[in-house]
Each structure stands twice: as structure tokens, then as C-alpha cells.
Amino acid sequence: MEYKKIYVIDLDHTLCHVELKPEENNRWDYQNAKPYLERIEKINRLYEEGNQIVIDTARGSTSGKDWYKKTKNQLDSWGLKYHVLRTGTKFPADYYIDDKAINSEEFFNDK
């Protein structure tokens, strides 16, 4: 299938809010992430318009834990439409430099 465009989208703090668990050495509480429903709606529109949606998350990249199944179940329960889910492969960095990058706050701000 040929897609109009390919969107690679981060998950945590982009499509959902995640808290730190101080009682567990400040590990992220992925299990209780809260979806940003208005952002999910926008991604679903892009999907319906014929774009490829790739969710790319660093979950598990430093801990080595396999978050794929739990993350897939979470995304499905939120109603997020996507083609590819990648977990644990994204390099955990503070900055990503790319000639096509868009800041998530700018992308989801329709003003």
C-alpha cells in the first residue's frame, strides 16, 4: 500500500501523560498513563486520510523490559489507529534533531 505520508510519533508525553513513581526509583508509571484524547483523535484522522502511523516509544530501551504487549493493549483500549508500534528501540535522549521534526506541542496546537 502506498501512503500519502509517514508519521512517526512518540508516545509518552506526546499522546499520553505519564507520572514518575518515586517509590520505585523514579521509574515511569506506564501502566497508568492517561491518554490525550484530542491528540489521539488527530492521529486517527491522519490514519483515516491514508497516512501511515508509526508509534515509536523508548519504553524498555533502558530497562530491557519488553513493553510491547502492554503498550499495544493500552493503545488499542484508547482507540488509537496505527500501523506499526515500536517499543524499546528508540534511543532515550533529551533532544532529537531532524530536518523534518515538529515539536509535539506545536503539532497538536491547532491555533
Domain ranges of the chain: 6-108
Q: For residues 13-33, give the mean pLDDT.
A: 92
User: What single letter denotes the amino acid at residue 106?
Assistant: E
Q: What is the pLDDT of residue 66?
A: 95
80 burial (CB, 10 Å; 0-12 / 13-18 / 19+) is buried
Q: What is the mean pLDDT of residues 87-94?
A: 82
Which CATH number applies to 6-108? 3.40.50.1000
pLDDT in tens, 40-90: 999 999 999 999 999 999 999 888 999 999 999 999 999 999 999 999 988
Q: Which pLDDT score, from 0 to 100, does residue 111 have?
A: 64
